[in-house]
Structure 1
Amino acid sequence: MASTTPPSDSVPRSSRLVIALRVGAWAAITGSHLLATTRRRLTRRPHHEPSLTVLLTRLGPTFVKGGQLLSTRTDVLSERRCEQLRHLHDRVAPMSAHAARTALALAYPGGGPFARIADEPAGSGSIASVYQAWLPDGTPVAVKVRRPGIGPQMRTDFELLGAGARLAQRLPGLHRVPMRRLVRHVSAAVLQQLDLTQEATALAALRRNLAGVSSIRIPAPLPELSRDGVLVMEWIPGLRRFRPGDLTREQRREIVRQVLQGVYRMLFIDGLVHCDMHPGNLYLSDTDVVLLDAGFVVQLTPQVRRLFAEFFLNMSLGRGEKAADVVLRSAEQVPADCDLAAFRSDVRELVESTHRRTAGQFRLGPFATRLFDLQRRSGIVAAPEFVFPLMSLLVLEGMINEFDVDVDFQGEAIPTLLTVLR
């Protein structure tokens, strides 16, 4: 499970050349893409340019992860772009058969516990590929194999992002924004996905926490069969893509409520939050919602969990004044010259304007953007830890809007919130 303890943001001397090469590659790819687009528009000639998914894949797993998160945000990108990015969920090009064999041989030098492993992966992501395997007694299992050499590459990417954040904070108007700490907190959580032992622990914890939520299923880890770089799990048969087109309206509505019930329990009761609930990690098995991949899981501190619950409850009930008070209490910094009356008035207007709106009428992304803008203009610095519960909801919101635009996204949380905050 990921913690919210940030790593050091220093760039080792040995990494500087690698970072420079990565920067050059990024500039070359994106620059050539922009140049080709501009030339095509000027000349009006057809041109076959690399797709967005190809560009992100060339940049590496860190950028693939960002593309996966963005794929649910049709309010940020066009539907065409989001559809392109959805190919990154579990259809990323798998590692070569040689790389998979090498990884398994390193994990099981004396030979693995499997009677047979499928040649082709059942799914492939930016960090690992998952294969079906069979134990000697015929029991099918899922075997998640980490891509060789991916750790240094992702750490280099985040060193680059950290360096960019340090530069950005020197710009006028951004010096109060904790961009460095934000990048450090997010990078610490994302890099935890490299540790498959921690993912096994997170899977077991989520299974315990959500055992009382009907129709949500999480595969059981098999730690006795797992090794460093390899996670063995229960194989759940009959999984199908999490798409609304194959379901009736009532089925879609019930699925959304089940998922929301589970997410609100994570956020407000247990504090163990799955931040990566995109369509590549959500499947259907009969009437169950199956949640796969517990790599990007964060444990919130009790203080962050309670403050986020207080804000969400006041937002859901349309109590803008109290929501503003929570923002001020949770802030990392409030300047002495801040116009508190004006800030409270602006937050009250924002909350009241979105009160009791359905998922189709309410967008958390624009709401959060406006709230952060109000904080920035008032010089109020938000604590970076709140990015994780917000990220969880932002990723999930895309699926909810696709399945049931009439669900009361805020109202569904109120029973859980009242139980927690009573």
Structure 2
Amino acid sequence: MLAHAACATYRIGEETALARATAGLGTEMPATALRAVRVGGILLGHGLVFGPVALGARLLRRRWAGGGERLSALLVALGPSYIKIGQLLSTRRDLLPERVCTALGRLGDSTPPPPRAALQEAVRSAYRGREWPYAEFDWTPVAAGSIATVHRARTRDGRQVAVKVRRPGIERIMRQDFRLTSLAVGAVAWLPQLRSMPVGVMHAQVGGAILHQLDLQAEGAALEQLRANLAEFDWIRIPAALPELSCDDVLVMEYLDGLVRLAPQALSKDARDIAARQVMSVVYEMLFVDGLVHCDLHPGNLYINPDGSLVILDAGFVIQLPDKVRASFADFFINLAMGNGPLCAHIMIESAASIAPGCDLDGFRADLTALVKEAAGARSGEFNLAKFAGRLFLLQRTYGLFPVPEFAFPLLSLLVVEGIVQGLNPELDFQAEAIPVLRRRNMPRASVG
């Protein structure tokens, strides 16, 4: 079982947090090998059954209507680590076909739940030695995510609560998957084009953050931190954690009823516009002001309250950015929005984790300045962060200049919500929405030409 974190969130660079999460991986090689065989068998099986169909559709230039459902089924069969990837991809309707995103979007809170008997054993075992706190407990989940199921219950004192239960056996599977990806990353790191990249450090930090989601008590503390940080905004609701009812494998929160999924088809045009701006405002507040960043705001975690307020239900994948990283990212973003390529290049060079010997810094400055100028000149709604990030990464790889791995988390947060926001309001100016937050807090350095 994961030890409880000393802090509410996974802090990047904390080796002790990652060590707790991955303790014992080296002694689990036989089980990990079996997991590798299972993963390979699942991939092979799906490939043999559906590969010819997909290939035939491609050769005939026909759309394979069942592609999204089959991909979703494959990720479910592979397990929670892969479901998480599908959840993140589901937000990228600008990069993937609509039918694929729709199918993957159902992974947010409707993955197959564990057997009822396994859930009952897990919950009752978690409360063993304590008084059973519930007068009623609905064993049929109201939501089933990749890591936990959520159940409605009523406490002995009459409160309606949401009970989040960690899936039985999930820690073992995710630890094995982490070991497999560690081996894969170690192998690809030897490729010539990747040797100068800190891929091992990036995998350790991102993987450690994902494994940290298994600690439900840390998630409860993160919920309370988010509630405190965002308390000044009366249009956002985050359920309160109830630590007196929670235990190792169970997180109990207040139950919010009547929620509407944050989906374009469920909202009017005015409501979509308001929701899009609210999402961007809260994310920018996290990124540029508090440094406590939610990296998993997919549709299964974002809802609309009956009173119109935005609701964040989950705080498992929440990262505390170091102040230096938060400040550098804010500086880069505001100068990107203002089209100041030279200062963007200066920030990237100044904060780089590694610079290859003989790196052509002047060439990097010139090419990044041109990229920033192009992005800043895009009309409202035309800026695409995923494509910009891809070109930025290509520049870094070409010149051998790599940012600190911590930059991956704010980018991940923005990439996830960008897909949601574009679905709500395709014309929203992604960069301009950040300016009021940055200016109000007087955080970034003054731009220079």
- SS in structure 2 opposite 1:57? helix
Contact 2:303-2:312 within 8 A present in 1 as well: yes
Contact 2:381-2:429 within 8 A present in 1 as well: no
* Cα distance in 2, alignment partners of residues 26 and 199 from structure 1: 29
Q: For 1:24-173, what aligned pairs fall within 5 Å after superposition?
A: 24-40=37-53, 51-109=70-128, 110-173=130-193
Is residue 2:220 matched to residue 1:204? no
Shift of 1:269: 0.7
**Unaligned residue ranges in structure 2 (runs of 5+):** 1-8
Structure 1 residues 38 and 291, CA, compared in 2 at 3 Å: closer, same or farther?
closer
Residue by residue over 1:328-377, the C-alpha shift from the partner in whole angstroms, topping out at 9 and shown as x without a partner, is: 11111123411111111111111111115456311111110100110100
Superposed CA RMSD in Å reads 2.1
Residue by residue over 1:165-209, the C-alpha shift from the partner in whole angstroms, topping out at 9 and shown as x without a partner, is: 010010121111111111110111111111111011100000010
Is residue 2:319 matched to residue 1:298? yes
Partner of 1:341: 362
Contact 1:219-1:233 within 8 A present in 2 as well: yes
Contact 2:260-2:266 within 8 A present in 1 as well: no
Structure 1 residues 293 and 47, CA, compared in 2 at 3 Å: closer, same or farther?
closer
Is residue 2:214 matched to residue 1:218? no
Contact 2:84-2:146 within 8 A present in 1 as well: yes
The amino acid that maps onto 1:226 is S
* Cα distance in 2, alignment partners of residues 401 and 319 from structure 1: 25
* Cα distance in 2, alignment partners of residues 368 and 382 from structure 1: 12
Residue by residue over 1:243-293, the C-alpha shift from the partner in whole angstroms, topping out at 9 and shown as x without a partner, is: 112322222111111121111110011100000000000011120111011
Is residue 2:440 matched to residue 1:421? no
Residue by residue over 1:30-87, the C-alpha shift from the partner in whole angstroms, topping out at 9 and shown as x without a partner, is: 2232333443467789999971111111111111111111111123322222111111
Structure 1 residues 239 and 334, CA, compared in 2 at 3 Å: closer, same or farther?
same
Structure 1 residues 79 and 296, CA, compared in 2 at 3 Å: closer, same or farther?
same
Structure 1 residues 11 and 230, CA, compared in 2 at 3 Å: closer, same or farther?
closer
Partner of 2:5: none
The amino acid that maps onto 2:143 is G
- SS in structure 1 opposite 2:149? strand
Partner of 2:11: 3
Shift of 1:152: 1.4
Residue by residue over 1:285-333, the C-alpha shift from the partner in whole angstroms, topping out at 9 and shown as x without a partner, is: 1201110110100000000000000000100111111111111111111
1:264 pairs, out of 284, 290, 293, with: 284
1:401 pairs, out of 422, 429, 437, with: 422
Partner of 1:229: 249
The amino acid that maps onto 1:363 is N
Percent of pairs identical after alignment? 44
Residue by residue over 1:65-112, the C-alpha shift from the partner in whole angstroms, topping out at 9 and shown as x without a partner, is: 111111111233222221111111000111221111111111111442
The amino acid that maps onto 1:362 is F
Contact 1:358-1:407 within 8 A present in 2 as well: no
Partner of 1:275: 295
- SS in structure 1 opposite 2:381? coil
Contact 1:358-1:409 within 8 A present in 2 as well: no
The amino acid that maps onto 1:34 is G
**TM-score, normalised by the number of residues in structure 2:** 0.90
- SS in structure 2 opposite 1:88? coil
1:175 pairs, out of 185, 195, 201, with: 195
* Cα distance in 1, alignment partners of residues 75 and 66 from structure 2: 17
The amino acid that maps onto 2:170 is I
- SS in structure 1 opposite 2:414? helix
Partner of 2:337: 316
Aligned length: 422
Contact 1:103-1:148 within 8 A present in 2 as well: yes
* Cα distance in 1, alignment partners of residues 252 and 410 from structure 2: 28
* Cα distance in 2, alignment partners of residues 100 and 247 from structure 1: 35
Contact 1:375-1:381 within 8 A present in 2 as well: yes
**TM-score, normalised by the number of residues in structure 1:** 0.95
**Unaligned residue ranges in structure 1 (runs of 5+):** none
Shift of 1:114: 0.8
Shift of 1:214: 3.1
Is residue 2:384 matched to residue 1:363? yes
* Cα distance in 2, alignment partners of residues 43 and 83 from structure 1: 23
Residue by residue over 1:391-422, the C-alpha shift from the partner in whole angstroms, topping out at 9 and shown as x without a partner, is: 00011111000000111111111122122226
* Cα distance in 1, alignment partners of residues 83 and 95 from structure 2: 17
Is residue 2:344 matched to residue 1:326? no
* Cα distance in 1, alignment partners of residues 302 and 294 from structure 2: 12
- SS in structure 2 opposite 1:232? strand
Partner of 2:29: 16
**Deviation larger for 96-105 or 201-210:** 96-105
